[in-house]
Amino acid sequence: MARVWYFASRPTGIPTESNFQLRDVDLPTLSSGEVRVRNRWLSVDPYMRLRMLNINRPDYLPYRIGEPLHGGAVGKVIESQASEFAVGDRVIHSFGWRDEWVCPASALKVLPARDLPEQLFLGILGMPGLTAYVGLMHVSEIKPGETLFVSAAAGAVGSTVVQIAKLMGLTVIGSAGGIAKCEFVRSIGADAAIDYKTPGTMIDKLAAATPQGIDVYFDNVGGNHLDAALANARNRARFAMCGMISDYSSMTSDCLYNLKCIVLAHIRLQGFYSTDFPDRHHEFERDMTQWVRDGMLRIHETIRDGLESTPAALISLLEGFNVGKMLVKL
Ligand SMILES: NC(=O)c1ccc[n+]([C@@H]2O[C@H](COP(=O)([O-])OP(=O)(O)OC[C@H]3O[C@@H](n4cnc5c(N)ncnc54)[C@H](OP(=O)(O)O)[C@@H]3O)[C@@H](O)[C@H]2O)c1
């Protein structure tokens, strides 16, 4: 018997517990080529809110009402009918939101480095870390000495962006909500932190933090953060359009008043997925694993306990209560 979270109803605004339902599910006995996995860590990510929207796009996989929720997870093989996996193997897969599952061996990947804490492969050494790495190295085309602005800089992707950009010799300005988060952003190396929740406009706050303007914007938030970056962009700035969390739960979108700067300042905006650069995965794994082992990247996690807490963890992330990677520990 497994316990699985189902998508019960579509939220308006920030989800509530009523949008989720926890059910007991009978699991089958294993067929040839199948593996039984007990999950140990569940990833909690903003895209989960995005997948609750009723959008029809080719690359977009919406959650369907009445079906199980999915997400990244790390677990241990507890039974195997597949030659590729043995009992005790630590694996990563996308059958999160549940405690146990039976799946084909092809849906699993063995964790690459046994000596590192396994949950890192859902964070800095996993999808959020990959997003930060490819967004900086291959979308933004960063150069030492440039100035970068990153929004949601205290989060999983943002805090990794701050640290990689500092390793690469950039001046980094990060934005986050609240004094404590801004202190955290400075503590991981940012040259300046902007608290977007204090009075004043983002345009003025960014201009004060970087009077010469920005060369690169790593967008995790969209809305007024994007508008401020456009207004403060130098000529030929590059914008890595990673996410727009201010828009995921909101019933209205911020107006952008500075779109004309895209033309006036020759700005290049590029939307991207973490999966857009498969030929760079090896480079990502090599560099990031080395930097983590050498203590050059600081790791911060916000951990909730127990499968029951998964919806609350997602709600809490959308409300900004996480610092670093949001995880559920089973
Ligand atoms: N393109 C891709 O492949 C890809 C992959 C991973 C993530 N992403 C995107 O990257 C962004 C960050 O993801 P993450 O996993 O690192 O999440 P995260 O930053 O760890 O958590 C989300 C954070 O967003 C901030 N936030 C929420 N609502 C906001 C608002 N209205 N205005 C400003 N900030 C707000 C909150 O921080 P504050 O307290 O600072 O507000 C919250 O802690 C998201 O937009 C996500 O969709 C994209």
Residue type, 199: P
Which atom from ligand 1 is nearest to the alpha carbon of 176? 40
d(CA 232, CA 210): 8
Q: Give CA–CA dist 69/98, Å, rounded.
A: 8
Neighbours of 302 (CB within 10 A): 17
Is 181 touching ligand 1 by the criterion CB < 6 Å? Answer: yes
pLDDT band at 54 (very low <50, low <70, confident <90, very high): confident
22 with 4: CB under 8 angstroms? Answer: yes
- d(CA 218, CA 216) in angstroms, rounded, equals 7
pLDDT at 268: 98
Q: What pLDDT is attached to residue 56?
A: 83
Ligand 1 atom with the shortest distance to the CA of 223: 32
Give Cα 144 distance to the centre of its chain. Answer: 25
Residue whose CA lies nearest to ligand 1 atom number 30: 246
- Distance (angstroms) between ligand 1 centre and the Cα of 22 equals 26
Predicted pLDDT at 260: 97
Task: Please state, for a pLDDT cut of 90, what percent of the chain lies above it.
Answer: 95
CA distance 165 to 173: 10
Residue 252's pLDDT is what? 79
Mean pLDDT across the chain: 96
How many whole angstroms separate alpha carbon 149 and alpha carbon 215?
8
Query: Residue 307 — pLDDT band, cuts 50, 70, 90?
Result: very high
User: Which residue, judged by its Cα, is nearest atom 28 of ligand 1?
Assistant: 246
Q: How far apart are CA 275 and CA 289, in angstroms?
A: 18
Three-class secondary structure of residue 290 per DSSP: helix
Could you give the CA distance from residue 26 to residue 2 in angstroms, rounded to a whole number?
Answer: 6
The pLDDT, as a whole number, for residue 134 is: 98
Residue-wise pLDDT tens digits, 192-215: 999 999 999 999 999 999 999 999
Would the pLDDT of 113 be above 80? no
Beta carbon of 123 within 6 Å of any ligand 1 atom: no
Confidence of residue 115 (pLDDT cuts 50, 70, 90): confident
Q: What is the predicted pLDDT for the residue at 229?
A: 98
pLDDT at 255 over 90: no
315 ligand 1 Cβ < 6 A = no
Structure-token match 């911020």, residue found: 254
146-175 pLDDT, tens digit per residue, is 999 999 999 999 999 999 999 999 999 999
The SS3 of residue 317 is: helix
Question: HSE of 172 in the Cβ direction (CA atoms, 13 Å)?
Answer: 31
Q: Is the CB of 158 under 6 A from ligand 1?
A: yes
Averaged pLDDT, 72-80: 98
Give the distance between the most distant pair of CA atoms in the chain: 64
CA 285 and chain centroid, separation: 17
Query: What is the pLDDT at residue 61?
Result: 86
Helix (H, G, I), strand (E, B), or coil: what is residue 145?
coil
Task: Judge whether residue 88 has pLDDT over 90.
Answer: yes
Q: Ligand 1: distance of its center to the CA of 131 in Å?
A: 12
pLDDT of 147 reads 98
Tokens for 289, please give them: 């694993």
d(CA 243, ligand 1 centre) in Å: 7
pLDDT of residue 153: 98
- Is the pLDDT assigned to residue 5 strictly greater than 80? yes
| Residue 251 in this model has a pLDDT that exceeds 80 | no
| For range 216-220, the mean pLDDT | 98
CA gap 131, 119 in Å, rounded: 17
DSSP per position, 106-127: GG-EE-S-TTS-GGGGGTTTSH
Cβ-contact 300, 326 below 8 angstroms: no
* Beta-bridge mates of residue 239: 217, 269
Mean pLDDT of 313-325: 98
H-only helix segments in 21-169: 47-50, 127-134, 156-167
pLDDT at site 254: 82
